[in-house]
């Protein structure tokens, strides 16, 4: 087999066939499904969660993962934070010609690994090869299907004043890991991306804690943007304490060097949890007994519900508050 | 760093704020009004807003943002020139991230990049030399903005380029100096000030002595400050003390970073490559000798000589950044503030730069 | 005006130093701090060390400031 992907791999002929057989089927193990143009499967109960996402991360390999692991974990997390049990997913690969075959194999294998860990099956896929320069090495598009068990639904309607806001761990790890891996700004960091599937942790929360109002994974745009979106969509005001937000020292350091605000850095293995304050301690216990939630912390409270879009406030160590907005445009390093 | 940690300690910050408020109350009792201080440096503006110091002191001390945000004081025509520079054939424009979103008359560098122009964000001016070495067939132009903290880095880049014999590297100098603009502000007499919170990092280069004109010629006290909450509060406290004692003095409240005479190596490098030149300041106009430009001898590295740029007259907007920079207008008094002009869609540079008065206000002060 | 970050020098080369800011590292120029030594703290701006931070002065400053606010509270409260 050739060492690099070329345009013929996407022409539907012999090379495409070999690529599917040798790379994708081998990793995802679904020979039966590939005989049809669609995957046909049964799915119970009737409440279904469906999500789609595209992954264009640069570089495609980074400390703590690669674009494939990210695509599976990202899809799983989108389903899981909606309260669904992830079941099936699809993966469409847009490959820039010239991508080393061994890179593709490694990526596909880590997808299979991550899917195995998360208990989701990759049951349909597609491959397209585009000319050099038409894509940046590899893009992956996914769809995910999950089922929502009755009795374990999230209750955003019950959000009320005093509800606790819990964060499952440190912020900014993914953002800084990617930045450092890009080597563009000279930042040297041992930071590893937090990229991980959260569905196991979320299921144990949903099954043991009553009063979970809502879950959200603060991916691009970071913690602040995710919370602003929750406040606006679910009509509540909240206040988070600057000093309570878990953040690693090296992330602080990297942000100081480049002039970034960690509140806006991307995360790929963290979640925000709004929960009845009476259940706060129990929720923390469940989170902290899981490796993906060991640094969980209460970062703030809901301060009231509103009739329209709510606001996010940050309490400074001086005791003053200021409102936070969603990320405005690109994050750029600054000297001023 | 252990010895610096207490400067951001929350408990000490709160006690420091109490101390400042006590002293400010004395001032208010004596004078029947709040003391009015200008923080010259934009990073101070941002730190004061972000840490909550400004909000905490709001009732007791009036803090006015000064002209020390290099992005904000960059003239519209200069930004337009930079954007048209990016259209030069075979050029790679390198810039600090700060400049990317600043709107010119038609669009920003970020938009120019989206159109396919080769514009790169670098962390250090020296990074652009590496780009020049890797691209010998391209002209690399660095957008040289900044005050005295940053200017030595531009001089260092010229020195390196000279040593490496690079002929495809030049800097578009549009630097700004602290003393001329403070003089211009004070001479105009438009704002009533009781003292200056002086920029910590500019002072690293210039030294405490460089501010003697303030006390000698303008009888104006000043305190050189760091950027953590305790440093800011301590400096404001000392400024209040000077005002209460009616003493026009300069206090160096950042002595572990700032010396009396500044950084000799940085100063001599600037002196070797650069000389004073007139600069256009947004909202203020041209101030004679208020910037540093390349000496004739180094004109090969001067992008302004290398490339002839023609630009149209800048478009007029209702943006009042010019007055905001001079401390005459508060951001919310501008008709565009938080309506047509937001950090996501900025019209004036004060809304673009994170340390711009309007952006700091929008992010950190706005309650609703 | 200018971002400046205290960072610790952990490796020294002829023209540059590797500095550490709470675990994140970056190479910086040392043109303006020719006397810099390993373990010094420098103030970092856009890839250059601008000055060496005098830790002793920093400790003295914070002590002096504590005394001022203690003194003030002593007389006022």
Which residues of A fall below an 8 Å CB-CB distance to B? 185-187, 243, 258-259, 311, 316-325, 328-330, 332-336
pLDDT exceeds 80 at position B240:
yes
Is residue A25 domain-shared with residue A166, that is, in the same domain?
no
pLDDT tens figures, C17-51: 999 999 999 999 999 999 999 999 999 999 999 99
Interface contact flag, A336 C2, Cβ < 8 Å: yes
Quick one: pLDDT band at residue B365, thresholds 50, 70, 90? low
* Sequence-separated (6 or more) residues with CB below 8 Å from residue A302: A159, A160, A161, A162, A163, A164, A165, A236, A237, A238, A274
This prediction's pTM: 0.92
Pick B367 or A316 by higher pLDDT: A316
Give the best residue of A253, A254, A259 to mutate against chain C (max C CB count within 10 A): A253
Which residue range(s) make up the domain with A98?
Answer: 7-147
The residue assigned the tokens 């920079």 is B325
Looking at the DSSP bridge assignments, the partners of residue A129 are A95
Which residues of chain A have a CB within 8 Å of the CB of B108?
none
Quick one: pLDDT band at residue B351, thresholds 50, 70, 90? confident
Dist CA B5 CA B25 (whole Å) = 29
Interface contact flag, C3 A191, Cβ < 8 Å: no
Neighbours of chain A (3+ CB pairs under 8 A): B, C
Torsion of CA A206, A207, A210, A216, to 10 degrees: 0
pLDDT number for residue A75: 98
pLDDT number for residue B315: 72
Radius of gyration of chain A from Cα atoms? 21
pLDDT number for residue A206: 93
pLDDT number for residue C76: 45
Interface contact flag, C45 B153, Cβ < 8 Å: yes
Looking at the DSSP bridge assignments, the partners of residue B121 are B95
pLDDT exceeds 90 at position A25:
no
Q: Which of A11-20, A81-90, B285-294 has the lowest mean pLDDT?
A: A11-20
Interface A:C, Cβ pairs < 8 A: 52
pLDDT number for residue B84: 86
pLDDT exceeds 90 at position A31:
no
User: CB distance from C49 to chain B under 8 Å?
Assistant: no
For the beta sheet containing A321-324, the strands, ordered from the edge strand earlier in sequence to the opposite edge, are: A212-216, A272-275, A164-167, A297-305, A236-241, A312-315, A321-324
pLDDT tens figures, A251-305: 999 999 998 999 999 999 999 999 999 999 999 999 999 999 999 999 999 999 9
pLDDT number for residue B219: 96
Dist CA B70 CA C46 (whole Å) = 14
pLDDT exceeds 70 at position A146:
yes
Q: Nearest-CA residue of chain A relative to B68?
A: A336
Task: Give me the mean pLDDT over the B166-180 stretch.
Answer: 96
User: CB distance from B98 to chain A under 8 Å?
Assistant: yes
Instruction: Take residue B171 and report the two structure tokens written for it.
Output: 């800097």
Instruction: Take residue B290 and report the two structure tokens written for it.
Output: 């208020």
Task: Give me the mean pLDDT over the B90-114 stretch.
Answer: 87
State the average pLDDT for chain B. Answer: 91
Which residues of chain A have a CB within 8 Å of the CB of C25?
187-189
Is residue A121 domain-shared with residue A259, that is, in the same domain?
no
Which residue range(s) make up the domain with C38?
Answer: 5-76
Task: Give me the mean pLDDT over the B303-330 stretch.
Answer: 83
Domain contains A27: yes
Domain contains A47: yes
Interface A:B, Cβ pairs < 8 A: 93
pLDDT number for residue A35: 66
Instruction: Out of B10, B52, B98, name the one closest to residue A335 (CB).
Output: B98
Q: Give the count of domains, chain A.
A: 2
Largest CA distance in chain B: 68
Which residues of chain B have a CB within 8 Å of the CB of C69?
15-16, 18-19
Task: Give me the mean pLDDT over the A184-204 stretch.
Answer: 94
Dist CA B56 CA B20 (whole Å) = 10
Task: Write the CATH number for A296.
Answer: 3.90.650.10
pLDDT exceeds 50 at position B368:
no
Instruction: Out of B1, B125, B150, name the one closest to residue C2 (CB).
Output: B150
Task: Give me the mean pLDDT over the A60-82 stretch.
Answer: 97
* Sequence-separated (6 or more) residues with CB below 8 Å from residue A310: A231, A232, A234, A235, A236, A237, A238
Is residue A125 domain-shared with residue A201, that is, in the same domain?
no
Is residue A304 domain-shared with residue A163, that is, in the same domain?
yes
Interface contact flag, B256 C8, Cβ < 8 Å: no
Dist CA B208 CA B253 (whole Å) = 10
pLDDT number for residue B356: 79
Checking phi first, is residue A87 left (phi over 0); if not, alpha (psi -120 to 50) or beta? Answer: alpha
Computed from CA positions of residues B210, B216, B217, B218, in that sequence, does the dihedral angle turn out positive or negative? Answer: positive
pLDDT exceeds 50 at position A166:
yes
Is residue A140 domain-shared with residue A30, that is, in the same domain?
yes
A147, A165, A200 - which closes a domain = A147
Dist CA A225 CA A247 (whole Å) = 17
Q: Nearest-CA residue of chain B relative to A258?
A: B123
Interface contact flag, B199 C51, Cβ < 8 Å: no
pLDDT exceeds 60 at position C75:
no
Is residue A32 domain-shared with residue A114, that is, in the same domain?
yes
Q: Cα–Cα–Cα angle for B85, B89, B90, nearest 5°? A: 105
Instruction: Take residue A89 and report the two structure tokens written for it.
Output: 């997913």
Is residue A18 domain-shared with residue A111, that is, in the same domain?
yes
Pick B365 or A180 by higher pLDDT: A180
State the average pLDDT for chain A. Answer: 93
User: CB distance from B121 to chain A under 8 Å?
Assistant: yes
Instruction: Out of B53, B56, B123, name the one closest to residue A186 (CB).
Output: B123
pLDDT exceeds 80 at position A2:
no
Instruction: Out of C5, C18, C25, name the one closest to residue A256 (CB).
Output: C5
Instruction: Out of B14, B97, B353, name the one closest to residue A319 (CB).
Output: B14
Q: Give the count of domains, chain C.
A: 1
Instruction: Out of C2, C56, C65, name the one closest to residue B201 (CB).
Output: C2
Give B10 to chain A, closest Cα distance, Å: 5
The 3-state DSSP class for residue A202 equals helix
Interface contact flag, B123 C6, Cβ < 8 Å: no
A147, A174, A195 - which closes a domain = A147
Task: Give me the mean pLDDT over the A53-72 stretch.
Answer: 97
Q: Nearest-CA residue of chain C relative to B45?
A: C1
Dist CA B109 CA A166 (whole Å) = 39
Is residue A210 domain-shared with residue A307, that is, in the same domain?
yes
Is residue A16 domain-shared with residue A141, that is, in the same domain?
yes
For residue A155, report the phi and psi dihedrals to the nearest 5 degrees.
-125, 65
pLDDT exceeds 60 at position A199:
yes
Task: Write the CATH number for C52.
Answer: 2.30.30.140
Interface contact flag, C22 A252, Cβ < 8 Å: yes
pLDDT number for residue B357: 83
Quick one: pLDDT band at residue A74, thresholds 50, 70, 90? very high
Instruction: Out of B52, B71, B127, name the one closest to residue A322 (CB).
Output: B52
- Report in angstroms the alpha-carbon separations of A163 from A213, A287, A323: 9, 17, 19
Instruction: Take residue C69 and report the two structure tokens written for it.
Output: 């606010």
Instruction: Take residue A273 and report the two structure tokens written for it.
Output: 């949890």
Pick B219 or B358 by higher pLDDT: B219
Instruction: Out of B126, B200, B202, name the one closest to residue C47 (CB).
Output: B126
ipTM value for the complex: 0.93
pLDDT exceeds 70 at position B166:
yes
Which residues of chain B have a CB within 8 Å of the CB of A253?
none
Give the best residue of C1, C22, C39, C59 to mutate against chain B (max B CB count within 10 A): C1
Q: Cα–Cα–Cα angle for C75, C66, B232, nearest 5°? A: 110
Spell out the domains of chain B, with CATH numbers in brackets.
5-70+178-252 (3.40.50.11750), 76-177+262-306 (3.40.50.11740), 321-365 (no CATH)
Task: Give me the mean pLDDT over the A165-184 stretch.
Answer: 95
Task: Write the CATH number for A100.
Answer: 3.30.1330.10
Give A172 to chain B, closest Cα distance, Å: 19
Dist CA B63 CA B235 (whole Å) = 13
Give A313 to chain C, closest Cα distance, Å: 25
pLDDT number for residue C77: 40
Dist CA A32 CA A121 (whole Å) = 13
Is residue A175 domain-shared with residue A89, that is, in the same domain?
no
pLDDT exceeds 60 at position A164:
yes
Domain contains A211: yes
| 8 A C-beta contact, residue A62 and residue A178 | yes
Q: Which of B228, B221, B230 is nearest to B197 (CA)?
A: B221
pLDDT number for residue A333: 81
Distance, first Cα to last Cα, chain C: 38
For the beta sheet containing B139-146, the strands, ordered from the edge strand earlier in sequence to the opposite edge, are: B119-121, B91-95, B139-146, B169-175
Interface contact flag, B124 C29, Cβ < 8 Å: yes
Which residues of chain B have a CB within 8 Å of the CB of A322?
49-50, 52, 55, 363-366
Is residue A238 domain-shared with residue A137, that is, in the same domain?
no
Interface contact flag, C46 B96, Cβ < 8 Å: yes
Looking at the DSSP bridge assignments, the partners of residue A321 are A315
Is residue A47 domain-shared with residue A194, that is, in the same domain?
no
A94, A117, A147 - which closes a domain = A147
pLDDT exceeds 90 at position A219:
yes
The answer for C 36-55 residues in CB contact with A (under 8 A) is: 44-47
Dist CA C26 CA A57 (whole Å) = 23
Task: Give me the mean pLDDT over the B19-46 stretch.
Answer: 96
Give C24 to chain A, closest Cα distance, Å: 5
Interface contact flag, C2 B146, Cβ < 8 Å: yes
Instruction: Out of A259, A316, A329, name the one closest to residue B344 (CB).
Output: A329
Query: What interhelical angle do B229-244 and B10-31 show, nearest 10?
Result: 20
């Amino acid at each position: 087999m050739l060492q690099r992907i070329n345009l013929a791999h996407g022409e539907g002929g012999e090379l495409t066939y070999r690529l599917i057989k040798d790379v994708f089927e081998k990793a995802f193990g679904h020979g039966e499904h590939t005989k049809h143009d669609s995957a046909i499967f049964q799915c119970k109960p009737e409440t279904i969660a469906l999500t789609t996402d595209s992954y264009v991360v640069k570089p495609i390999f980074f400390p703590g993962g690669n674009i494939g692991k990210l695509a599976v974990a990202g899809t799983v997390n989108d389903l899981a934070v909606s309260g669904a049990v992830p079941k099936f997913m699809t993966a469409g690969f847009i490959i820039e010609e010239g991508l080393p075959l061994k890179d593709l194999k490694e990526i596909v294998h880590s997808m299979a690994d991550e899917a195995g860990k998360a208990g989701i099956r990759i049951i349909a896929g597609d491959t397209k090869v585009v000319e050099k320069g038409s894509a940046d090495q590899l893009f992956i598009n996914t769809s995910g299907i999950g089922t929502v068990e009755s009795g374990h639904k999230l209750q955003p309607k019950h959000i009320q004043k005093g509800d606790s806001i819990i964060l499952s761990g440190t912020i900014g790890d993914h953002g800084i890991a990617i930045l450092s891996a890009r080597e563009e700004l000279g930042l040297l960091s041992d930071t590893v991306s937090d990229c991980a599937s959260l569905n196991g942790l979320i299921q144990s929360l949903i099954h043991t804690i009553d009063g979970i109002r809502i879950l959200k994974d603060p991916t691009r745009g970071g913690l602040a943007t995710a919370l602003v979106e929750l406040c606006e969509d679910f009509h509540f005001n909240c206040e988070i304490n600057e000093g309570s937000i878990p953040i690693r020292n090296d992330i602080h350091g990297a942000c100081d060097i480049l002039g970034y605000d960690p509140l806006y850095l991307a995360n790929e293995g963290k979640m925000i949890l709004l929960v009845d304050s009476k259940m706060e301690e129990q929720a923390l216990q469940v989170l902290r007994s899981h490796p993906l939630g060991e640094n969980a912390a209460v970062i703030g409270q809901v301060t009231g519900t509103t009739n329209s879009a709510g606001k996010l406030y940050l309490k400074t160590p001086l005791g003053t508050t200021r409102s936070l907005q969603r990320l405005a445009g690109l994050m750029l390093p600054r000297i001023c | 760093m252990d010895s610096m940690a207490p400067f951001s300690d929350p408990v000490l910050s709160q006690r420091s704020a109490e101390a400042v408020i006590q002293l400010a109350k004395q001032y208010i009792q004596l004078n029947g009004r709040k003391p009015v201080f200008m923080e010259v440096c934009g990073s101070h503006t941002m730190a004061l807003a972000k840490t909550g110091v400004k909000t905490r002191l709001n009732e007791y001390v009036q803090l006015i943002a000064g002209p020390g945000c290099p992005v904000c004081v960059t003239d519209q025509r200069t930004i337009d020139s930079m954007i048209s520079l990016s259209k030069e054939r075979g050029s790679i424009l390198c810039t600090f991230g700060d400049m990317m979103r600043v709107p010119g008359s038609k669009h920003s560098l970020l938009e120019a990049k989206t159109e396919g122009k080769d514009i790169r964000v670098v962390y250090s001016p020296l990074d652009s030399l590496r780009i020049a070495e890797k691209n010998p067939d391209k002209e690399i132009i660095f957008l040289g903005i900044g005050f005295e903290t940053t200017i030595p880095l531009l001089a260092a880049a010229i020195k390196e380029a000279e040593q490496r014999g690079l002929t495809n590297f030049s800097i578009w100098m549009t630097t700004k100096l602290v003393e001329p603009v403070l003089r211009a502000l004070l001479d105009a007499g438009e704002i009533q000030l009781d003292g200056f919170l002086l920029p910590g990092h500019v002072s690293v280069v210039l030294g405490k002595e460089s501010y003697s004109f303030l006390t000698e010629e303008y009888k104006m006290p000043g305190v050189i400050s760091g950027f953590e909450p305790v440093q800011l509060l301590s400096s404001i406290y000392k400024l209040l003390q000077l005002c209460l004692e009616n003493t026009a003095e300069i206090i160096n409240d950042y002595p572990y970073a700032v010396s009396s005479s500044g950084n000799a190596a940085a100063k001599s490098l600037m002196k070797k490559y650069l000389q004073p030149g007139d600069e256009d300041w947004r909202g203020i106009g041209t101030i004679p000798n208020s910037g540093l430009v390349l000496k004739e001898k180094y004109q090969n590295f001067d992008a302004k000589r290398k490339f002839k740029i023609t630009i149209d007259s800048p478009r007029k907007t209702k943006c009042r950044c010019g007055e905001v920079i001079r401390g005459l207008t508060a951001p919310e008094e501008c008709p565009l503030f938080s309506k047509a002009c937001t950090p996501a869609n900025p019209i004036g540079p004060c809304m673009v730069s994170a340390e711009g008065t309007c952006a700091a206000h929008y992010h950190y002060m706005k309650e609703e | 005006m200018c971002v400046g970050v205290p960072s610790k020098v952990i490796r020294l080369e002829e023209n540059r130093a590797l500095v550490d800011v709470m675990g994140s590292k970056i190479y910086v120029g040392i043109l303006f701090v020719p006397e810099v030594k390993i373990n010094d703290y420098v103030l970092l701006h856009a890839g250059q060390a601008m000055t060496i931070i005098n830790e002793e002065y920093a400790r003295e400053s914070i002590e002096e400031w504590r005394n001022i606010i203690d003194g003030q509270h002593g007389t006022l409260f």
